[in-house]
Amino acid sequence: MENHQTQHWVEKAKPFIAVIFLQFGFAGVDVLFKAAMNKGMSNYVLVVYRHAIAFIVITPFAFILDKPVIDQNLYFLGMKYTTATFAVAMTNIIPAITFFMAYILRIEKITIKSIRSQAKVVGTLVTVSGAMVMTLMKGASLGSLGTHVDNNHNHQHNSGPNIQHTIKGTIMIITGCFSWSCFVIIQSITLDTYPAELSLTSLICLLGSIEGAIVAMIIERGNSSVWFVKWDIKLVAIIYSGIVGSGLTYYVQGVVMQTKGPVFVTAFSPLCMIIVAILSSIILAEQLFLGR
């Protein structure tokens, strides 16, 4: 009887553990991408290599076990103009956008008298409010937990981006967040009729590589040097984001989504902000502020 209860609690805890893992995975991607871009790596090329690595790693598992690009380009370009902490803080609007879209498409139901529905509505308002505060308010500096400074290329980022870059970056990040919410909703709908998470992940990564390559070749035309990667933080960012940031997270996201829905998956996004704030302060020596 006791073993049965333990197994029951473990099964209930699995989705929560999975989405927490997702946030740690996304946090690592954000920090490594920012470090790579500070070294001069093109965000467009990073996205291409990320999906290519994910496709190579995931596809064999899909064949054995199973018999989205615009959002990332805009998000990481916005991060380039701001900071890793600011960019991930803006992703707090993703649960709100996803919840709203899921409600319109009748994927998510709301019962006003239900405590669970009330909590979802309140949570949505809180996440949007938090994102607005991060955008509009800049308070006192809290300093930095790290002592490492990349080089002169990173100096501007540590001293804080100017207001024009912040506005430009914010618009790009918000657009990227909307695109990501659309992707989550589409993934949820697709899995209802095609419940093969690994195969779907493989297809997503393949299409992401192709679309990303087209965008990168257009934006970076005449600059072939951006495609060459050395044994440094850029390569680490590519490999990690490909295996963890795309391959594993897309798959885990799909598995959890089938049982808990798209809103549950995105509801843990604020956790990523805390992780990134700590890691970017230590690794990237970014200044922490109250607000943006």
Encode pLDDT of 37-69 as tens digits.
888 888 888 889 998 998 888 777 766 655 456
pTM, two decimal places: 0.72
In a domain, 41, yes or no: yes
In a domain, 273, yes or no: yes
Write down the pLDDT at residue 98.
87
Range of the domain at 70: 35-291
pLDDT at 153 over 70: no
The mean of the pLDDT values for the chain is 79
Residue 289: count of CB within 10 angstroms of its CB: 18
Specify the number of domains making up the chain: 1
In a domain, 14, yes or no: no
Q: Say what percent of the chain tops pLDDT 90.
A: 1
pLDDT tens, residue by residue, 10-26: 788 888 888 888 889 88
For residue 136, name the pLDDT band (cuts at 50, 70, 90). low
- The answer to whether 280 touches 31, Cβ cutoff 8 Å, is yes
For residue 239, name the pLDDT band (cuts at 50, 70, 90). very high
In a domain, 11, yes or no: no
Write down the pLDDT at residue 64.
61
Write down the pLDDT at residue 227.
87
Cα separation of 274 and 92, whole Å? 11
- Which residues lie below 8 Å from residue 40, measured CB to CB, with a gap of 6+? 153
For residue 144, name the pLDDT band (cuts at 50, 70, 90). low
What's the average model confidence in pLDDT over 99-114? 82
CA distances from 184 to 105, 212, 219, 232, 273 (A): 13, 18, 26, 32, 19
For residue 162, name the pLDDT band (cuts at 50, 70, 90). low
Lowest mean pLDDT among 120-134, 144-158, 226-240, 257-271: 144-158
What's the average model confidence in pLDDT over 240-258? 86
In a domain, 98, yes or no: yes
Q: Which two tokens stand for residue 169?
A: 């970056």
Write down the pLDDT at residue 254.
86
What's the average model confidence in pLDDT over 130-138? 65
In a domain, 22, yes or no: no
In a domain, 13, yes or no: no
